[in-house]
Structure 1
Amino acid sequence: MSRPAEIPTEIDTPAFFSDQHDYYTRLRQSPGPRLVRNPRGLGYWLITRHAEAREVLLDPRFSKDPRLAEQALTAAGYAVFGADSFFLPLVNSDPPDHTRLRRLVSGAFTPRRVETLRPRVEQLTRELLDAVPDEPGTRDGAATPVDLMTALAFPLPVLVICELLGVPHAGRSALLNWATRMLTVSESAAGPGTGPAERTRRLHRWFASLVAAKRPRVRTDLPQEEQPDLLAALIVAHDRGARLSDEELVGLLVLLLVAGHETTTGMIGNAVDALLRHPDQLALLRDRPELLPSAVDELLRYEAPLARTTLRVAREDVQLAGTLIPAGSVVSVALTAANRDPDVFPEPDRLDITRASGAHLSFGHGIHYCLGAPLARLQTETVLAALLSRWPELAAADPHAPQRWLPVGDMRGLLTLPVLPRPVPSAAATARDRGRA
């Protein structure tokens, strides 16, 4: 028997952002999905338990096509069609279109292909860290912290995406500028004509210009797998047999920037912040660097950069854990909640880099499992290894300061991460050192 429809619970409010994990813990205490409503008025079913999350992510009865919930989404102010739409190809499509699009880009993200990027990722990381002073400055007797988000976590994924796509060096600062506008400028601060929809349109135009400039230099006699970069491979796919439309080509490029950059930035920041707030785990990783791959998995479980999946729509009535989800209902999986399900992860709120955390869902599950997972892992491992080596005394600028999270419900990323590469000696210690000199 189905449970009766629940009264929607508000989500993405200031109270929610202050402590997502507590909110999800309370929701998870009740079996089955919960009906929630966001500030824009969109009501949807939220999945918070690990077993049910896996079930939904694998079930083809839950579609990624937003057109199946057009009325509800439009009523809440979401654009389903046109340039204003935030729904991107590949992420918001079902087979066979999803299968076709995924096959076109999957070759760029195989573990072997990603591994060839390691030296370049390491070099970019070193260059970004070289621009940061090793010794913290002081002002009025207090240390001047470095914002690790601005200095490293934000620019690195953009530069790596440029490498992947083959963006000319002359265009990389422009792409970094676009990423900054897209991902850090709030709608209220953007000013007239520069809100999210307009920024999306301009980004589409920028990528369309990049494709037009690149196309004459692409060797169309070479197959996709022999092209020097992903953008050239996609242009060949477009020009041969129209396997990729103009709209899909540009949409995939926007997706690579927005999805690939935002999640990796959050993943790097969340990982460093979690280690700084758990000095015992940081010390263990410093002593046992061979734990780095498993540590990254545990850090992903502990604080996933994608808090909730993009929306799915029930194609038909679906019974899930004793609850009837009617056809046409919108559904989302709370990855953050599933990753702390005590039925799967004992003591889920404890960070333990020796934990076998392979069951986490931070990259999704099923046919929509994140293509960029190997590249995101590589970047995070590279950053952590570089920080442990270069700044072994790295510390939070203020260990007691509250975290400042992005006020975006689907994402879990820090706005800032103030750190001290090296601790600042106290005034008394400095005076003693001068006396010894």
Structure 2
Amino acid sequence: MTRTPFSQRRTEPYGPPALHRRLQAEQPVAHLDWTERGGDVWTIAKYEDVRAMLSDTRFSSDRSNPLHPGHQAYNPKSHQGRIIEMDPPAHSTQRGRVMGEFTVKKIAALRPSIEQIVDETIDAMIASGDRGDFVDLFSLPVPSTVIAKLLDVPEKDYDFFQDKAGVFADGTAPNEDRQQASMAIIDYIATLVDARIERPGDDIISRQLAAGASREEAIGLGHLLLIAGHETTSNMISLCVMVLLDRPELRRQLDEKPELIPGAVEELLRYFTIAETGGLRLAVEDLEVRGHTIPAGSVVYALTNTANRDPDVFPDPDRIDFTRGARNHVAFGFGPHQCLGQNVARLELVIVLEKLFARLPDLRLTAEVSELPFKEYSNFGIHELPVAW
């Protein structure tokens, strides 16, 4: 019996693939051919099932396992400390050690620093002329600078840091170039860690070392913070600005009622759900979901983008409603691997929406959304966003 072929590729920027929607409505748990990856996959599409799966550590996240669908991204030089790639008990120990760095209170204290970064990036945009690529001018520099400050990267190294992060985030770049950029970042962070071992400072790496992290764990954590926190936030900044420029009625709502901005951030996170492969797992034993037995060794994909459009949870899910109260979305995942840096991302997005349009009221698209080059790999986003101001 021939199974339905599966693809994670989107065909339009404002919604999940049609197949994913159909699976949610007709086959909430499905066994499909994933020819793009040379195998098959089980998909889980309903909100409640996705949350249950992401909470169950029998769906393994350990990318060091050759059977795991994310094994191709496994790198032994950075694996220790990359907590999204490991299972308990190592995951529990390391996540517990670092969670205190990302509390709401601690991240809120970063607001003045992030506001300065956003203002300085807008200043640089204005100084560059009256038009350009918003991704290059704004979306990439803001999150990489925030992370550089968190890691206490010397300012003289910011250009190197941003350049390598940009190459790694460029899905159109040759794989060899992306791998070299990743290794350059790992090597650079290793020098930071070695410097903190010798001369501790007031930064995340120093505090993790003092709390018992090994050198290798600290290197992996630094690499994770840059790679995971940089590209996803960059993509969300671009998509938020795109939709607000493309749908001026939404922008007017925020202009007239700035108090809607935090709710708008949650709704846009739900709406776009950009972490395409965040729900990939490996079943380590036979597991049952909705009466279906998923055999041990199976690749399983929690379709978070479809879960966030589940009409049983989000009525009229394709409509953007800034008053929805969508904080129960799963754009940051769920369970033990829920995104550690979500409070940083939220704050960055809120500050961007507070400041960008106030300072650049004439900001506008210079290309149709249908013409924009969208990303088709691990995180959904835009390669370029041509704008004028």
Q: TM-score, normalised by structure 2?
A: 0.91
1:62 Cα offset (Å): 1.3
Structure 2 counterpart of 1:175, from 149, 161, 167: 161
Residue by residue over 1:259-278, the C-alpha shift from the partner in whole angstroms, topping out at 9 and shown as x without a partner, is: 01111111111111122222
Unpaired runs of at least 5, structure 1? 138-144, 219-226, 238-242, 422-437
Q: CA deviation at 1:155?
A: 0.7
Residue type at the aligned position of 1:205? D
Quote the offset at 1:17 in angstroms: 8.4
Q: Tell me the secondary structure at the aligned position of residue 282 of structure 2.
A: strand
2:242 aligned to 267, 273, 287, which one? 273
| 1:82 alignment partner in structure 2 | 76
8 Å contact kept, 2:14–2:272? no
Fraction of identical pairs, as percent:
34
Distance in 1 (CA, whole Å) between partners of 2:250 and 2:41 is 37
Where 2:36 maps in the other structure, the secondary structure is: coil
Of 227, 240, 247, the residue aligned with 1:258 is 227
Q: In structure 1, what is the Cα distance between the partners aligned to 2:166 and 2:351?
A: 22
Asked if residue 164 in structure 1 is aligned to residue 150 in structure 2, the reply is yes
Deviations 1:239-293 (A, max 9, x none): xxxx433322211111011001111111111111122222111111110001111
Distance in 1, Cα, partners of 2:282 & 2:370: 40
1:434 corresponds in structure 2 to: none
The residue aligned with 1:108 is 101
Correspondence 1:298-313 to 2 at 5 A:
298-313=267-282
Amino acid across the alignment from 2:303? A
Q: Does 1:32 align with 2:28?
A: yes
Alignment correspondent of 2:137: 151
Structure 2 residue aligned with 1:53: 50
| One-letter amino acid of the counterpart of residue 182, structure 1 | F
Pair 185,236 (structure 1): closer, same or farther in 2 beyond 3 Å: same
Following superposition of structure 1 onto structure 2, how do residues 17-416 of structure 1 map, counting pairs within 5 Å?
20-34=16-30, 35-68=32-65, 70-71=66-67, 73=69, 78=72, 80=74, 82-83=76-77, 89-133=82-126, 137=130, 145-184=131-170, 186-188=172-174, 194-218=176-200, 228-237=202-211, 243-399=212-368, 401-408=370-377, 410-416=378-384
* TM-align CA RMSD: 2.6
Maintained 8 Å contact 2:81/2:94: no
2:388 to 410, 420, 428: 420
Partner amino acid for 1:49?
K
User: Distance in 2 between the 1:213 and 1:67 partners?
Assistant: 28
Question: Could you report, residue by residue, the CA deviation over 1:352-380 in whole angstroms, capped at 9, with x for unpaired residues?
Answer: 11212122111111111111111001100
* Cα distance in 2 between the residues matched to 1:302 and 1:412: 12
Compute the TM-score of the two structures, normalised by the length of structure 1. Answer: 0.82
SS of structure 2 residue aligned to 1:152: helix
Deviations 1:286-333 (A, max 9, x none): 100011111111111111221331521112111112321101112121
CA distance in 2, matches of 1:360, 1:80: 28
Distance 1:135 1:389, change over 3 A: farther
CA contact (8 A) 2:81 2:218 kept: no
SS of equivalent to 1:244: coil
Question: Structure 2 vs 1, CA of residues 401 and 162 (structure 1 numbering), >3 Å: closer, same or farther?
Answer: same
Q: Which has more radius of gyration?
A: 1
Q: Report the CA distance shift for 1:146/1:86 in structure 2 as closer, same or farther (over 3 A).
A: farther
Shift in Å, 1:420: 2.3
Q: Structure 1 residue 136: deviation in Å?
A: 6.6
Q: Aligned partners of 1:149 and 1:87: how far apart in 2?
A: 31
CA distance in 1, matches of 2:97, 2:312: 38
| CA shift in 2, pair 1:86/1:97, >3 Å | closer
Whole-Å separation in 1 of the counterparts to 2:12 and 2:239: 18
- State the SS of the aligned residue for 1:128: helix
Whether the aligned pair in 2 keeps the contact of 1:270 and 1:305 (CA below 8 Å) is no
Q: 1:209 to 1:322 in 2, by over 3 A?
A: same
- Give, in whole Å, the separation in 1 of the partners of 2:102 and 2:225: 12
Shift of 1:187: 4.8
- 8 Å CA contact 1:308, 1:335 repeated in 2: no
Aligned to 1:142: none
Q: Offset at 1:383?
A: 0.6
Superposition deviation, residue 67 in structure 1: 4.6
Question: Given residue 82 of structure 1, which amino acid in structure 2 is its aligned partner?
Answer: P
> Secondary structure of 1:348's match?
coil
Q: Deviations over 1:43-87 (max 9, x none)?
A: 32222221111110112321212355x24759xx8265634x889
